[in-house]
Amino acid sequence: MVRAAPRQLALALAHDESFAREDFLAGASNADALKLVERWPDWPDRTLALVGPEGAGKSHLAAIWAEASGARRLSARALGETDLLHALATGALVVEDVADDDLNERALFHLVNLVREEEAHLLITSRAAPGRWTVALPDLASRARAIPAVTLTAPDDALLRAVLLKLFADRQLRVDESLISYLVTRIERSFAAAKAAVELLDHEALRLKRPVTRALAAEVLAPG
């Protein structure tokens, strides 16, 4: 009896993303945010907001600060279901992904007040600056306008290159300069786009049993 040869499957393996300080790639787009995070506890206020688009590095910076300060981390969606005084037990708290279209305003207002009363520190991440949030609670709107915010902007070419190289290295993929140069001029200028492009190329290379090259990228990323 002849046994059929086993089929080789392209497995999508999980790739852990490191949020360690040594793995944070600094550049002009995030230098101000990194500097302010590392200045803690010498902040202009007890509450600080990191503002920027998805994939800009806000969560990585929040993790760096949490490691340094002993902060607990909390999703904004969980604000109304959390014992906020207990969450501030270490004297520091990160609240991530604050969005005014899905926000428990009273819980956040209570938290900001607690931070002052407990002489704690709060780091918020959001896509929009607190002063631009549309909130119905007048007292929260007033507090939000007073929160200092630092914005992470789109990475320049040098930083985007470094990010791409790191993302490929994290997947143990060796790539040449021609591929990196090609991607820098083709993808959206953001960390999220870089991550998506690397994931797609890795997946397609496994599926097609081909190396990750500029030729593959030209096929995979071709418009239409």
Instruction: Give the HSE-up count for residue 87: Cα atoms under 13 Å, Cβ half-sphere.
Output: 24
The per-residue pLDDT for 191 is: 86
Question: How far does Cα 3 stand from its chain's mean position?
Answer: 48
Q: Which DSSP symbol is given to 151?
A: E
Q: Which two tokens stand for residue 24?
A: 């944070």
Helices (H) and strands (E) in the chain, counts: 9, 5
The per-residue pLDDT for 4 is: 34
Verify cis geometry, omega within 30 degrees of 0, for the bond prior to 130.
Answer: no
Checking if the pLDDT of 13 tops 60, the result is: no
How many whole angstroms separate alpha carbon 114 and alpha carbon 42? 19
The per-residue pLDDT for 54 is: 83
Checking if the pLDDT of 223 tops 80, the result is: no
Checking if the pLDDT of 62 tops 80, the result is: yes
Confidence of residue 112 (pLDDT cuts 50, 70, 90): very high
The per-residue pLDDT for 192 is: 86
pLDDT 10s digits, 19-36? 777 778 889 999 999 999
Confidence of residue 7 (pLDDT cuts 50, 70, 90): very low
Checking if the pLDDT of 1 tops 90, the result is: no
Q: What is the mean pLDDT of the chain?
A: 90
pLDDT 10s digits, 121-139? 999 999 999 999 999 999 9
Phi-psi region of 97 (alpha: psi -120 to 50; beta: other; left: phi over 0): left
Phi-psi region of 223 (alpha: psi -120 to 50; beta: other; left: phi over 0): beta
Confidence of residue 6 (pLDDT cuts 50, 70, 90): very low
The per-residue pLDDT for 91 is: 97
Give the CA dihedral 181, 185, 188, 193, nearest 10 degrees: -20
Biggest distance spanned by C-alpha atoms of the chain = 79
The per-residue pLDDT for 3 is: 37
Tell me how far CA of residue 135 lies from CA of 60, 139, 144, in angstroms. Answer: 27, 10, 9
Checking if the pLDDT of 61 tops 90, the result is: yes
The per-residue pLDDT for 15 is: 52
Q: Domains of the chain (ranges plus CATH)?
A: 26-151 (3.40.50.300), 157-220 (1.10.8)
How many whole angstroms separate alpha carbon 110 and alpha carbon 116? 10
